[in-house]
Every structure is written in C-alpha cells, then in structure tokens.
Amino acid sequence: MSRRATSRRYRVVARPQTRARRVRTAAAVVAVLILGGLAAASARHAASALSRARLSMPIASSMRGVSVEGVAEPFLSLTQAVVDAAPGSAGEKAEVLKARFPCVSDVSVRRPWGEQRATLTPVLRRAVAPVLRRGRAAGYLGDDGAVFGAPAGVFSFSGPAVDVAGAEAKELKILAREWPALCEVGALPAPLAVLSYRSTEDGWEARLEDGTTVLWGHLDWTKEKLARLSEAMIDARAKEPGALAADLRYFADGKVLLKPISLKPLGQIAAAGTRGGAR
C-alpha cells in the first residue's frame, strides 16, 4: 500500500436526526438565557416602581403619620410642625421641608412596608461661618461658598464672622476654601474677629480681636501671607507696641506694609516694608 493511501482522511457526516437534535438543544439554551435576562430586568423595574409607589401612598391625616428625627430642638419641633401641616405623601412632605428651609440640603425618607407611618431625616448643610451684610446677621456660609439662612438654634458659632456685602459668588467659593486656614488657632497674630469684603480691587479686610486691621487683598498666597505677616508683626511690635494696620494687597510684589494705629502726627507714623513670598 502506498504512503498516499495510508494518509487518506475520511469525513464523518452526522445523521439528519442528530443535527436536528443539536439545533433544538442550542435554541433551548438561547431561549433560557433571553428569558432569564428579561426576568431580571422586569424584577428590577418592578422593585423600583414598588418603592416609588410605597413613598407616594397616601398617609392618614393623623399628626403622627409622618415624624421627623435626626435634628435637635428647637429645629425638630419646627420641622415637625411644617410636616404636619403639609398635605400629600411622605415624599411630598420631604420636598416641602427642603423648600421651606434652605439650611436643609436633603431629606431621607424611610417607611417600613405595610406601616402607615414614615420617618423623615433632614440632612443639614455644613456651615463654616456666620454671615453678615453691612454688619447685620444674614445667615451662614456653607463649605461650598453658598450663603443660606437657618432658624435660630440650628447652628452655633463662637468664632469669627464674615461680612460678604458686595462679594460675588466666585469670591465666596474661594473664601469657603481658604476659611479653615484663616481661622486656624495661632495662624494670625491675634484671633480673627471679622473678615469683610471691600471691593473687587482691594479684596478683603481682616479685623483681629486686638484691634489690628489687615488689608488682605484677594484670597491667594494664604499660607505665605500668614507666615510673613506674623514675622513682620513681631518685628514691628518690638519697636512700636500696640495695634497695627497691615497691608498685604501688594504681597505678590514682595511687600508687607505695616503702620501703628495711633493718634500720632502724620510724620511720626512710619510705614515699614518687608519682603514677602512672591516667586
């Protein structure tokens, strides 16, 4: 027998019945996978719809139908009174709370299935400082730079305030970012009493508890300004004790200007210039 004859290959052809059985099996597997995917999608949609329906179900008009928790008095009683007076479902009452109180950023709604009682938990904005407008109380500064109002007792501050009259939204956003550094203990030669906005050109002015005033300028170079201001104040007070007026508006040019606050004749009031941290 030749070598060519021994290497001949044979083709095996499945019978028609076998091929049909394989096709039916593959079709059944594909059908099961498709039906399983459709069932999972339907289950998710049904669960979502059920949750929305549960929150929108009418609640009895009883005063105890929806309760508020998670906030302290007197704000708790105030929000509960608003919820009791507001019509609608638990979700609708939550929207009323957010619209009525700008200090509330969100409201969590919790209602166990089958119970005619829901619980609302207000989530308060994070306030970083009390706000003034031309010396009058005007709410609070949020950590996002937004100014909002709040009923008495919601927030309690014993530190400095900011007077934002005339400041634009972008200035307030920068202020919220730099505020922790300005209020850090020991950051300034004396504790900060109030930071006031002056103008677009002059920026901000800081008044310290010892009577010192600082024309801060724009809220940039904050850490460098704090460090150089403390050094310059120590040197200046060694020569002229008492309150000083500082000007940091030209810090980027390498200048920190100081002068004593007194009733001395103009010729005796010296202005000292020291090098800043400009790069």
Q: Which helix (H) or strand (E) holds 148?
A: strand 147-148
What architecture (CATH level 2) is domain 127-274? 3-Layer(aba) Sandwich (3.40)
Give the pLDDT score at 63. Answer: 35
**Residue-by-residue DSSP string for the chain:** --HHHHT--------HHHHHHHHHHHHHHHHHHHHHHHHHHHHHHHHHHHHHHHHHS---S-TTSEEE-SS-TTHHHHHHHHHHHS-S-HHHHHHHHHHH-TTEEEEEEE--TT-S-EEEEEEE--EEEEEEETTEEEEEEETTS-EE---TTS----S-EEE-TT--HHHHHHHHHHHHHHHSTTSSSS-EEEEEEEETTTEEEEEETTS-EEEEESS-SHHHHHHHHHHHHHHHHHHS-S-EEEE-TTGGGT-EEEEE-S---GGG---EEE-----
pLDDT for residue 222: 94
Query: Tens digits of per-residue pLDDT, 138-152?
Result: 999 999 999 999 999
Supply the CATH classification number for the domain 66-124. Answer: 3.10.20
Task: Please state the domain extents for the chain.
Answer: 66-124, 127-274
The reported pLDDT for the residue numbered 278 is 36
Residue 41 is predicted with a pLDDT of: 63
pLDDT given at position 40: 67
Burial class for 164, CB neighbours closer than 10 Å (0-12, 13-18, 19+): buried
What pTM did the predictor assign?
Answer: 0.68
Six-digit token string for 167:
């400041």
The tens place of each residue's pLDDT in the chain, 279 residues long, gives 444 445 555 455 556 666 667 767 766 666 667 776 676 666 565 555 545 544 444 443 343 589 999 999 999 999 999 999 999 999 999 999 999 999 999 999 998 877 778 999 999 999 999 999 999 999 999 999 999 999 999 999 988 999 999 999 999 999 999 999 999 999 999 999 999 999 999 999 999 998 899 999 999 999 999 999 999 988 888 887 777 899 999 998 888 898 887 634 333 333 333 333 333
Res 107: pLDDT: 96
pLDDT tens per residue across span 103-159: 999 999 998 877 778 999 999 999 999 999 999 999 999 999 999 999 999 999 988
Q: Are 127 and 142 in contact (CB under 8 A)?
A: yes
pLDDT at 23: 65
Tell me the pLDDT of the chain averaged across its residues: 81
Reading phi first (left if > 0) and then psi (alpha if -120 to 50, else beta), residue 254 is in: left
Which pLDDT belongs to residue 7? 52
What pLDDT, on a 0 to 100 scale, did the predictor assign at position 120?
96
